[in-house]
Structure 1
Amino acid sequence: MKKSNSYKATVVLGISFFGLLLSYPFKDSFTGGFFTSLCSAAMVGGIADWFGVTALFRKPLGISFRTEIIPRNREKIFNEMANMVQNEFLTKERLKSKVEEYDIADLLIRYLKEHGGKQDMKEVLDKVVQNLLDEIHPQEMGVFIEKLIKDGVEKAQVSPIVVKVIAWSIEHGYDDLIIDFTCKELIRIIKRKEVHDELTMFIKRVRSEYEKHSVVRTLTDKILLDWFLSLSPANIAQLLQDKGCNLLEDKHVLRKEIRIYIENWLKKLKEDKNTQDKIEKLKVEIVKKISIHEQLAQVIKTYKEVAATHSEGVFYLIKDINQEVNNLITRFEDNVERRNQLNSKVQQKVIQWIDKEHGYIGKMVNESLNHFTNAMLIEFIESKVGNDLQMIRINGSIVGGLVGAFIFVITFWFV
């Protein structure tokens, strides 16, 4: 098909030439003159158009004047093509409107669910975490994480956090749960035999200090406490335990007192700068005493060992990772607000990039076109429109012949 019209044009030109040779001897007659004019005009038109078509790409007959039009003007052509692509086809407004039409979140979800994105995520995470574990030195990382935690805690203001946590707990009724739990634990502790023994020893020491080798005090203690009241150190200890338990079991009174104390302390913490400074100072002192780098190092070492001994890699340590990824995708898919936020942010970034880098489209087109040599450019254009260009030769012969015949008729009858 590429040579089809070229072949036809050559055939038409050949017919015109032989037609001229055959009719020229009879040019003085009407018929001979008619065909002579027709064929000569067709041949001239065909040759002229052959010259014009060839001159677009090469030097016909070796003539260099005004020929090789496309190779000579390749830079202008490329610049115009780049300008057309950048400023007519891919304008800023058109690109922006296309970006705004895309649902980026939907594309992301379909990639994750339908095109292997979930598995890609798992493999990337596996490689990243595995590489991190391979490069990590447990002791160094333990020290680093401990320092990171301490620095973060020291810089953070604890007082506002404490106020918010306590206020939220009171608002949602968690203070009652905490008080009930604390009371039960304290009752359990108070009833223990060890507490009873400690209280007994303490009371004995107090009585011993009180008596101090005084016969009168000793007799008083024995007669009054031991004989009449039957309050031996063991009995007094038991009474104290019972009293403490009864006090803790009276939840309504205790809860009211504790709540009042908490509210007063909370108000003081909100307004009193000295109390806030004390909390922050206590925080710093506690943080300085904390040493967890050894425990962190051991945890990291364990993770490395487990990951190294299982074919599933680090994901052996994470149960149901596929289900978690599915849940994450589902939550994102159902959360319209987050999807809109993602679309808005991505579109905004892309539009900013278009505003900043739009001129690069023309440069990119120009750079791509400049890879074509003259021979490649000619071959490319001829492969796309060469067959159509050959129609110019055919049309030139036909139109030239018709015009030649028309002129002969006019001149023959009217001149």
Structure 2
Amino acid sequence: MTRGLNKADKTLCIVFVLFLLSLGLHLSYPQNLLADLLLFCSEAALVGGIADWFAVTALFEKPLGFPYHTAILPRRREAFIEASVTLVQQEFFSRRKIFHHLEKMHLMPMLISWLREPAMEARLIQQLVDYMRDFLLQQSKAQAAIIAAKLRETLAKVEPEDFFALWGTWLQKTGKDKEFLARVAAYWRGQVSTAAARQQIKAMLEAYEQEKTNDNVFAQLLAGFAQAVDLINYEEAAELIQQQLLTMLDELGRSDSKLQREILQLFYEKAVELNKEPQFHQLTHELKDSLLRDLPLESAVENMFDQLRIHFLEDKARDVDPLAEHLPALRSRLEELISEEYQRTLHLIEQDAELNHAVGSFLYDVIARTALHAQTLVGVIVTDVLSRLTDEQLNHLVYDKVEPDLLWIRMNGSIVGAGIGLVLFFILQVTM
């Protein structure tokens, strides 16, 4: 490992310098006891420091190129990786520790508190509304037949007489009957006001006159005389009738006019009478059965959902919420319904002890199983990460974690060596 001088290297250099100074003093004063003591201790400290330097360095590299039993970590990297994986899986992610930590957690209060946060509640409701919208659109084709069957079933239960009665009540309450009658009057006014209509009226009068006088010679004679003296002018009569029709249609189209009220009253009276007729009853039931049998409800429902899906996808591509833009009332109602059910569900979980326990046990089981499965995943991750490291990177990874301790081991070698040298020097002096 290429590094600058650390405190252990500096300590070893100082010991080496002390050894050289002690050696010089010893050579200058060979009979001096203090010089011998300094040389003996510095020599032992130097040997101890070099020995520990060699031992520590041999864990990671080949010190001075010495090949035997050195560079231990790079040579045993596979065993180191396997041991690291085992350590992480069995110690940090052991079943005992996982369940011990989970038992300390109060899962349900934490979950309820988290779900009751306004921001979280709003986000979940938003997601649920979007999910329901997308789910319904995605299921439209599969559910088209079911929806059509439900529509047929509902329509089959509707009696035509009741339907007509409800329809008439709705027309009266909403004023749609007057609006409809005004539109009919406006349409026919446009038809009657033309010159062609006037000619048709004239033709009808002439045809009527021809029909009445066809078999009566005297009547023909009088009619011819009246036309000769201009007593009967079909052109003027047709114009007068046309004007009367236009006046009547104007009044019929005017809201809440007398003629309009009379016509509507007459219509409702005749509708009630008609609704009681057996023949009409049979006709409406046959018509209803025929419509239910022949109406293409499946294709209509499917086509409706297809068009909705295309339209909604176009809106989503423009980052526009289609429900909020086109059906705000529907979206607001959906949000209200989901919010009510959301609050009811949380309240039920809080109040029902059995349900609370069931949900808590389920969460505990899911989290525990997930954490246990993480053992394998963590092992794979650790193996993959460590396997990708070069020998130098692996050395640095381990060395950086224990560098202070390794430096003290090296310095302790010099300190212990000096101490042992001091003890041995006194032993030698005593025994000599």
Shorter chain as denominator, the TM-score bin is: 0.5 to 0.7
Question: Is 2:11 the partner of 1:6?
Answer: no
Aligned counterparts, 1:80-91, within 5 A: 80-91=83-94
Q: Counterpart in 1 of 2:419?
A: 402
One-letter code aligned to 1:343: G
Question: Is 2:53 the partner of 1:50?
Answer: yes
TM-score, normalisation: structure 1: 0.57
Query: Which deviates more from structure 2 when the two are superposed, residues 70-79 or residues 9-18?
Result: 9-18
Q: Counterpart in 2 of 1:331?
A: 344
Q: Counterpart in 2 of 1:236?
A: none
Tell me how far apart the structure 2 counterparts of residues 14 and 198 of structure 1 sit (CA, whole Å).
124
Question: Is 2:110 the partner of 1:106?
Answer: yes
Identity %: 22
CA apart distance, 1:408: 0.5
Q: Counterpart in 2 of 1:313?
A: 321
8 Å contact kept, 1:24–1:33: yes
Tell me how far apart the structure 2 counterparts of residues 35 and 13 of structure 1 sit (CA, whole Å).
11
- The alignment partner of 1:58 has SS state of coil
Q: Counterpart in 2 of 1:77?
A: 80
CA apart distance, 1:30: 1.7
- The alignment partner of 1:57 has SS state of coil
Aligned counterparts, 1:9-408, within 5 A: 9-25=11-27, 26-100=29-103, 101=105, 103=107, 106-107=110-111, 110=114, 113=117, 118-119=122-123, 122=126, 126=130, 129=133, 144-148=142-146, 292-297=297-302, 299-300=304-305, 303-304=308-309, 307=312, 308=314, 312-316=320-324, 317=327, 318-320=330-332, 326-334=339-347, 335-336=349-350, 337=352, 340-353=357-370, 358-408=375-425
8 Å contact kept, 1:38–1:400: yes
8 Å contact kept, 1:43–1:397: yes
8 Å contact kept, 1:59–1:68: yes
* 1:257-302 Cα distance to aligned partner (Å, 9 max, x none): xxxxxxxxxxxxxxxxxxxxxxxxxxxxxx9888532442464256
CA apart distance, 1:15: 3.5
| Uncovered stretches (5+) of structure 2, i.e. residues with no partner | 154-161, 170-268, 280-291
| Uncovered stretches (5+) of structure 1, i.e. residues with no partner | 159-181, 203-286
Q: Which one has the largest radius of gyration?
A: 2
TM-score, normalisation: structure 2: 0.55
Q: Counterpart in 2 of 1:214?
A: none
8 Å contact kept, 2:19–2:43: yes
- The alignment partner of 1:12 has SS state of helix
Name the count of aligned residue pairs: 295
- The alignment partner of 1:370 has SS state of helix
Tell me how far apart the structure 2 counterparts of residues 87 and 146 of structure 1 sit (CA, whole Å).
55
CA apart distance, 1:365: 2.6
- The alignment partner of 2:331 has SS state of coil
Residues 90 and 331 (structure 1 numbering): CA distance in 2 closer, same or farther, change over 3 Å? same
Query: Which deviates more from structure 2 when the two are superposed, residues 371-380 or residues 302-311?
Result: 302-311
